[in-house]
Structure 1
Amino acid sequence: TDDLLTVPNPDMGIILVTGATGYVGGRLVPELLHRGYRVRVMTRVPIEDFDEQWPGVETIVADALDEHQLKTALQGVYAAYYLIHALLLGEKKFEVVDVQAAINFRKVAEANGVQRIIYLGGLGDINAPLSPHLRSRLQVAKELQNGKIKTTVLRAAIIIGSGSASYEIIKNLVKRSPVFFMPYWARTKCQPISIRNLINTLIGCLETEETAGKSYDIGGTEILTYEEMIRILSELLDKRKFFFNTAFSNINIYSYVASLLTPVPAAIIRSLMASTVNEVICKSKDKLPDTLYRPISYKEALLRAMTREEQDDVRSRWSDQYPRAHELAIKLKELEKPPYYISSYHLLSENSAEALFASFCKIGGDDGWFHSNWMWRARGMVDRIIFGVGDARGRRSRTSLRVNDVVGFWRVEGRRQNSHLLLRAEMKLPGMAWLEFTIHQIGEMNRLTVTAYFEPQGIPGKIYWYNFLPFHYFIFTNLIKQIDRRA
């Protein structure tokens, strides 16, 4: 936000950010801290490394569906960013949950004397039939504006930035598909916005009193069709593609096929594609001041995203919040007794703890799992075919990991610098699984240990464990050897 011309005002009080573990919230919080604000984040469960990730941030555990918890979260707050969305619950559930959460939030915020709410919604013509996704966003905006609090509503189309779902879908389709069969909705007009523009606008609205109580449509400098967006990136990457118009337009089929070619699961792609039937371009009468809204082109947004990836500086990613409610999953330390099955493999190493830790924190990236990659990829492909998360999700960073990061079909559950890394399985399983890496000093040597934990669900879980057990020795002994070698 160094190019933002509005003036920070840290004296205004506590700034609450909901949805801080999501893609936009993960970019917004550090920028607010950088500008000197006192920031409180609201999460549904404690996140153990927030203090390390965002020094100085205050964390409150609360759910927007629980008014009692909201009272604590909103106490003493001057302004609140509302970035909550229950999209991945499914069409029948998320609209009801979204509206109820917004009603609860507005009522409790009013009771606590909150002065401002800033809400990020979706672009869409209110006079046209809308997708459930866009319709829900408009309903939430109305509920937040129904109260006494001055609510600023920002409506945006798809977000282009390193780590955004839309960017990763388009980028991977361009890289992996030589031919595109374009349905009618690929020619729908859209006004994509850069994540940098979006964050600047969110903060600029906080620092500009005249935006309080108003609604704004925000987007980039260009209005493009989805086909044009694919063509522009193809040219940037110097990839020759063939485009054919087709009458076939089934979104469920398109989203499933796209999920097999990209890191993004079908559920997210389907939700995004469902909105492509509506034009999403800026039409609002109210215009934001130039001091906080200076949009850039789609091509420039792509180049910035690509630069961030090359620099290994992706601050947040769509996978931070998918699958929905992953943060509520049972943790290894929360089990009443140790998992039913435990399998450990050890190796004594002359390498330092720092080198070993850095080495195993690179697994699941460009180099895969260091050994037997075809086995890991085959398991991930099977999971993706049966609508699981799959192994193609990749990683946020090539070289570092933090709690909540995704590593293929695993997620980082625990991490201690230079000594411990705990991954929780998110693939479809007849049970719960974890993979743990630990380093213990023994004299002048370090013992590297890899431990697989599995808590089965009934007979299918036990059969699953014994089916894969013969492969464990081969996979894990070679894995720890490669970790030591690459250290």
Structure 2
Amino acid sequence: MSTPSTVLVTGASGFIGSHLATALDRAGHDVRAMTRHPERYVGAGTAVRGDVLDAESIAAALEGCDAAYYLVHSLASADFEEKDAKAARIFAQAAKAAGLQQIVYLGGLGDDNTELSPHLRSRREVERLLRDGGVPVTVLRAAVVVGHGGISWEITRQLVDHLPAMVTPRWVQTRTQPIALDDVVRYLVGVLGHPDALGRTFDIGGPEVLRYVDMLQRVARLRGRPLPIVGVPLLTPRLSSRWLALVTNVDVMTARNLIDSMSTEVIAHDDAIRTIVPGAPLGYDEAVRRALAARAAQ
């Protein structure tokens, strides 16, 4: 456990950020929850205004901080790569000027030796741009995060809940390594201020490598309902994204950007993170049960 720090959490009202802010607050850190609308913020920590595309607001939000978590992206925008690169440059420069000791970034898994999707390629570019600022960066790379409110998880849950059967594209055969929300938050908190985590990149994942179709069938079984699946290899990413937007509440642009990544295998290459944050990660079924329980408790 690191000593108490003053920490900025960007995207504090989002899926990961809201749980992280709570965990950091419970661990005794002084949490500044950055949001574009602080007057609406109801989570842990002290709300501060900030927009990653507004350098002045970022400088103000970072003043007096020891470290920062960078958890923002622009997947809902057609020009997300350009926006995310610009935001990373602004944040890196402001972090350096503020004298930060560490930036923690949650990126995406994917083998650098393969052709990455625009989404994953953008995540790598953000990693590089944050490092270019000169502040030590700790990168955690994850695939599907299983937890109530996560976009990728919600796609899985809603497909299972809404459809009596599925006609699936080729990408459901791609292998991935899902991870429980609880483990992502545990790792994010655990690397804060850890000297052996500075300047390093860690793959994080659950204990199982699954195809997307396996994940759908496992959720269906836990929900106690059959889910017949028929593959249609010629279903294009564009058609797939429109199909997802039709049967889930994910918008077409976000769905398209995510589906482009679903054809890329995303698997952790090692478990070095456990030398920094000990403990075995939760299995997929338990992660699903926790996500469903959190939804039911709303």
Q: Normalising by the residue count of structure 1, what TM-score does the alignment of the two structures yield?
A: 0.59
CA deviation map 1:187-235 (0-9, x unaligned): 1110011110000000001153211110001011000000111111111
* Structure 1: distance between partners of 2:168 and 2:117: 20
Residue 118 of structure 2 aligns with which residue? 132
- Would you tell me which structure has more strand in proportion to its own residues? 1
Aligned ranges for residues 257-272 of structure 1 at < 5 Å? 257-272=243-258
2:196 maps to a residue whose letter is E
User: Are the counterparts in 2 of residues 44 and 62 from structure 1 also a CA contact under 8 Å?
Assistant: yes
Whether the 8 Å CA contact 1:44–1:61 is kept in 2: the answer is: yes
Find the aligned partners of 2:156 and 2:138 in 1 and give their Cα distance. Answer: 30
Amino acid at match of 1:165: I
Counterpart code for 2:113: N
The CA deviation at 1:8 is 4.8
Structure 2 gaps, min length 5:
none
- Amino acid in the other structure paired with 1:257: W
2:288 to 296, 302, 315: 302
Distance 1:212 1:288 in 2: 15
Report the counterpart of residue 242 of structure 2 in structure 1: 256
Aligned to 1:25: 17
Contact 1:17 1:80 in 2 (8 A): yes
The one of the two structures with greater contact order (alpha-carbon pairs below 8 A, sep at least 6) is 2
**Who is 1:230 aligned against?**
216
Query: Contact 1:214–1:286 at 8 Å: present in 2 too?
Result: no
- Picking from 157, 166, 170, the partner of 2:143 is 157
Preserved CA contact (<8 Å) 1:102 1:143:
yes
Q: 2:3 aligns with which of 5, 9, 12?
A: 9
Counterpart contact for 2:204–2:273, Cα < 8 Å: no
With the length of structure 2 as denominator, give the TM-score of the two structures.
0.94
1:206 to 192, 196, 202: 192
Question: Could you say if the C-alpha distance between residues 292 and 205 of structure 1 is closer, same or farther in structure 2, counting changes exceeding 3 Å?
Answer: farther
1:39 maps to 2:25: no
Q: 1:32 to 1:287 in 2, by over 3 A?
A: closer
> How far apart, CA to CA, are the structure 2 residues paired with 1:78 and 1:85?
22
Taking the aligned partners of 2:224 and 2:76, their CA distance within structure 1 comes to: 34
Question: Deviations along 1:38-80, whole A, 9 cap, x unmatched?
Answer: 1112222332453xx43xx222222222222222111111010
For the 8 Å contact 1:200–1:292, the answer to whether it is kept is no
Q: Deviations over 1:284-341 (max 9, x none)?
A: 584432644521111110011112223x1xxxxxxxxxxxxxxxxxxxxxxxxxxxxx
Q: Measure how far apart 1:22 and its partner are.
A: 1.1
8 Å Cα contact 2:7/2:30 also seen in 1: yes
Aligned CA distance change for structure 1 residues 207 and 112 (closer, same or farther; 3 Å): closer
What amino acid maps onto 2:75 in structure 1? L
Q: In structure 1, which of residues 65, 79, 83 is the aligned counterpart of residue 53 of structure 2?
A: 65
Distance 1:253 1:39 in 2: 42
Note the C-alpha offset of 1:182. Answer: 2.7
Contact between 2:106 and 2:140, CA under 8 Å: does it hold in 1? yes
Q: In structure 2, what is the Cα distance between the partners aligned to 1:49 and 1:146?
A: 31
Contact 2:69-2:103 at 8 Å conserved across structures: yes
Per the TM alignment, residue 125 of structure 1 is displaced from its structure 2 partner at its CA by 1.3
Offset from partner CA, 1:241-280 (integer Å, 9 cap, x none) = 2222222221222222222222333333222211111001
| Structure 1 segments (4+ residues) deviating >6 Å | none
**2:66 is equivalent to residue 78 of structure 1:** yes
> What is the RMSD of the two structures over their aligned residues, measured on CA atoms?
1.8
Q: Distance in 1 between matches of 2:208 and 2:27?
A: 30
For the residue of structure 2 that corresponds to 1:283, the secondary structure is coil
1:49 and 1:155, CA in 2 relative to 1: closer, same or farther beyond 3 A?
A: closer
Deviation of 1:146 (Å): 2.2
**Aligned pair 1:174/2:130, yes or no?**
no
Aligned counterparts of 2:279 and 2:123: Cα–Cα separation in 1: 22
8 Å CA contact 1:201, 1:292 repeated in 2: no
Paired residues, what number? 298
Deviation at 1:86, TM superposition (A): 1.3
Quick one: distance in 1 between partners of 2:251 and 2:55? 32
Alpha-carbon separation, structure 2, partners of 1:141 and 1:15? 19
Please list the CA deviations of residues 372-412 of structure 1 after superposition, one character each: whole Å capped at 9, or x if unmatched.
xxxxxxxxxxxxxxxxxxxxxxxxx3xxxxxxxxxxxxxxx
The code of the aligned residue for 1:248 comes to L
Q: Secondary structure at the match of 1:81?
A: strand
Q: Post-superposition shift, 1:129?
A: 1.2
Where in structure 2 are the equivalents of 1:45-444 lying within 5 Å?
45-50=37-42, 53-54=43-44, 57-90=45-78, 93-284=79-270, 286-289=272-275, 291-310=277-296, 312=297, 397=298
The answer as to whether partners of 1:186 and 1:226 remain within 8 angstroms in 2 is: yes
Amino acid at match of 1:272: L
Letter in 1 for 2:116: L
The secondary structure found in structure 2 opposite 1:240 is coil
Q: Deviations over 1:134-161 (max 9, x none)?
A: 1100000011122321100000001111
**Larger Rg, first or second structure (1 or 2):** 1
Q: Can you give the 5+ residue segments of structure 1 that lack an aligned partner in the other structure?
A: 1-6, 313-396, 398-487
